[in-house]
Each structure stands twice: as C-alpha cells, then as structure tokens.
Structure 1
Amino acid sequence: MKFISWNVNGLRSVLKKNFLEFLDTEAPDVLCLQEIKCSPDDIEQLWPRHYTTWWNCARRKGYSGTAIFSKIRPLKVIPHMGMAEHDEEGRVL
C-alpha cells in the first residue's frame, strides 16, 4: 500500500501547482491532507471520483481542516478526539 501525507497549506493553491498530475503519477492508495482550508463542497467539486473521501473542516471558513482520500474504504473514520476546543478546528480525522 502506498500512503502520502501532506500539509498542503490550502487545497485550492496546491491544485494550481500541478498537484493532480503529481497524484496521477504517484497514485497513492491513501492520501492524507492537512491544512486544506476549504469547505466540504469545495472538496467534492475539486476531487477525482475514484477516491472515497472523508474530511473534517474547521467551523471558521478558510482555516485548517483535514481530508483523507482512499481507494480502500476503512472500517471506521472518527472525525474528532473528544475535545471541543480542538474538534471545532478540523484538525483530527
């Protein structure tokens, strides 16, 4: 299995920098992104459909956020750690 984890500092900005071409070349089974800084609607519009997606976006627009894209469906995805002050920032998935 091939995993890639990347702090993209904004999903939209990395998409402008040949990220999708990189993704096609590397073809990870699981891709974990941090600091996506976008909403779930943005993710669904921008991402290739051959990955199943999970995300945890911050309540504050344009701030933090994490996403996982996987070719293989996990048994369970937990989008929180049980600490409200951290869970609202979208940093755990």
Structure 2
Amino acid sequence: MLSLAENKSDPRILNYLGYSHRKMGRVTVGLGYYQEALKADPNYTLVREYLGEAHLQLGDVASARQQLSEIEKRCGKGCEEYAELSKQIDAFEKTKS
C-alpha cells in the first residue's frame, strides 16, 4: 500500500516504510527510510522513537538514547514517543544485566 502513495517523500510514508522493513527483519533498510524521514522533518518524534527502537535491535543503546534525548528536546518527557522509547531502552538494558 505504501508504494502506491502519491508523495513517496512524505515523512509519514518514509517512516512507515522504515517501520515495515524493520519489523520484517531488514533493520538496516529501515534505518535508511528513517533517516530520509528525518531529513524531511527533523521534528517528527514518532520516527525518532522507531529509529531508537531500530538502534536497540542492533544493540546500539547509545544511539537509542540519543534519539530519546532528541525526542525530549521536541516534546518533553511527557509525550508518548518519549515514554515508549524510554520503556524500550529500560527493557533492553534489563535483558543485558
């Protein structure tokens, strides 16, 4: 369905392309779409959340925390994206300890 979108450079389309690739196990392909979405809209916090989750899938906690920090700058600790990525980071770190 996403390939039928009229504006394939829309950050929402890029985000969900990244999400779908990541969920199918093609994390590095997903990362590329997330980066393109951020080029179009650096304030898109949902893509930052998903990007952080992708970094966790790759075992890169520092990059996930960087995205958490970027989310906090844009919407604070009270927004849904911050809460979800923070929860994912905590869960990841518990499995590593």
Q: TM-score normalised to the size of structure 1?
A: 0.35
Q: Normalized per residue, which structure has more helix? A: 2
Q: TM-score normalised to the size of structure 2?
A: 0.34
- Larger relative contact order, structure 1 or 2 (CA cutoff 8 Å, min sep 6): 1
